[in-house]
A and B are shown apart, each in its own frame.
Chain A
Amino acid sequence: MKVDWTTFWPRIVEATGETLTMVIATLIFGSIIGISFGLLLFVTRENNILENKLLFQILNVFINIIRPIPFIIFMVAISELTRLVVGTTIGTVAAIFPMTIVASFTIARVVENNLVSIDPGVIEAAQAMGASPLRIIFTILIPEALGPLILGLTFVSVSLIDFSAVAGTVGGGGLGHIAMTYGYQRFDGSVMLVTVIILIVMVQLAQWIGNTLSKKIMRR
């Protein structure tokens, strides 16, 4: 059975909105949590400005446990927790919860990796001027790493578009859900084509925004 495109377009628009909501909301929450964790991971490292072996190890191990789990399995595995927090496991909001967790840990690593590439001498210079650890975090670490950090976040948002589609197939709504129910289960190639094109455009757009922003910040 083929869909009737005159009535189906609004569904596509709605689904695109859902996907965007999932990705953007996850990116916002994930960035807040992930950047904090990444900074914490970096400054508590050995010989760093707020060295704390215990905190570092806890964070590090936690991230290492969560990150390798494939998203679809992770999402199902924590569904009880999702129900507890969100109240349901179906719909856009329910998808944002597991996506945020995974995004947070991925972003934490991205942030940590970018911070590690800052010349330690620069941090030392700030210390020698009498900057406090908190001051160093906000006025040195973040500005110095911002350019590559935005590229890292761009990379994460592209994989979030992917995650949102996965979430869609197991009750999360959005373009993934449309593609699955109409394109896959009802063999409607035109629906498949349209969703694929929209997803490609989204990824390109995200990449373009990220590149432009980071270029502007790195002035190159």
Chain B
Amino acid sequence: MIEFKDVSKTFSLGKRDVHAVKNVSLSISKGEIFGIIGFSGAGKSTLLRLVNMLERPTSGTIFIQDIDVSKLSSKDLRTRRRNIGMIFQNFNLFNSRTVAGNIAYPLKLAGTPKREINKRVKELLNFVGLADKEKDFPDQLSGGQKQRVGIARALATSPDILICDEATSALDPDTTADILKLLKKVNRDLGITILLITHEMHVIQSICDKVAVMEDGEVIEDGNVFETFTDPQHETTQRFIHSVQSDLPSKQILKEWRSSGGGKLYRVIFKGDATNDPVLSTITKKHDVDFNIVYGAVRELQEKLFGNLIVSFTGDASAVQNVLNELNTIVELEEVIENEG
């Protein structure tokens, strides 16, 4: 659906060059919700704006539905853009137009007949749950309502792709959840491929199928959300994951644990099926060892379970070793080292 091939974008600011996007190759398939996460200045917005050519690549090519968009004439590009809806962090609604006027605008650009426009606007207002706000002006709406109008407007010309630049970053947690739900509905019910960028891991966690992590203009890691979450390769990715789920108790608590004579701590990671069986209790019982879950959680990611527990074992030293060996064959296990946390 969307394919970046070795794409770079450099801005020249006087003498200084800013390499906003560096040699990015990514492939986004039809029907996916693909999230790009990165800290501020990582180049996410620039990468996203390359999709609808608001920014032109310095090198590399971008294929959208097998068409090299960097080669399109400006007229063809304008037509292509109707197939790529875009929503923004600050909504970017037209203040001089009503809600209905905002949603009708892209349809007018496309030359849709007036009667059809009216029908489509009503349809979209119902879809985003704003049927009663038709005649309001943007400044009369809340943030969440504004973003709903933004989404309706982006969907007006029935695009195949929706790109979202930090669509929920200006919203409170409840409203964010509502908008994410709506985006999921856009993806599920309308089959629209969504490419979103964010700096919030929970956005990725709650709606994305695939994720790419960006740092300094480069994609440093990408893949399935479940795999990336449960087995992050890169330090930045780990930092993002810790932002939504700390996998260790605080330094303070660890210190207290150790000073009160607590034994060695182990991190036990369960993925998918392993979460269904009572592995810990079965194995410890077998070797006559006690276990104590000091910290941890089991959570759902892309409809699969993922557990991360910090456990201590008490019993005969060789029995504990046997437990560890056996556990290691079923789940991921590692010792929590002294200065972690």
Contact = CB atoms under 8 A, between A and B. Distances in A.
Interface of A: 119, 121-122, 124-132, 135, 139-140, 143-144, 146, 219
A96 B261 CA distance: 95
6 contacts: A124-B54, A126-B94, A128-B54, A128-B84, A128-B86, A130-B81
A113 to B, nearest CB: 18
B109 A130 contact: yes
Contacts of A139: 105, 108
Q: Which 7 A-B pairs have the closest CB atoms?
A: A130-B81, A130-B78, A125-B92, A143-B96, A121-B92, A128-B86, A129-B106
A119 B90 contact: yes
For the residues of A in contact with B, the DSSP-based class is: helix
Contact of A129 (B88, B95, B109): B109
Contacts of A126: 94, 105
Interface in B76-103: 77-82, 84, 86, 88, 90, 92-97
Interface residues of B, number: 26
A128 to B, nearest CB: 4
B137 interface: yes
B78 A144 contact: no
A143 B97 contact: yes
Given A130-B106, A132-B78, A135-B109, A146 B54 contact: no
A219 B137 contact: yes
B54, B96, B106, B157, most chain A CB atoms within 10 A:
B96
Contact of A146 (B77, B96, B108): B96
A128 B81 contact: yes
A144 B54 contact: no
A129 B82 contact: yes
A219 B95 CA distance: 11
A38 to B, nearest CB: 17
Given A129-B106, A139-B105, 9 more contacts: A121-B92, A125-B86, A126-B94, A127-B81, A128-B54, A130-B78, A130-B79, A130-B81, A130-B110
Contact of A127 (B54, B95, B108, B110): B54
A128 B52 contact: yes
A85 to B, nearest CB: 37
A55 B77 CA distance: 26
Contacts of A132: 78
Nearest to B89: A121
B78 A131 contact: yes
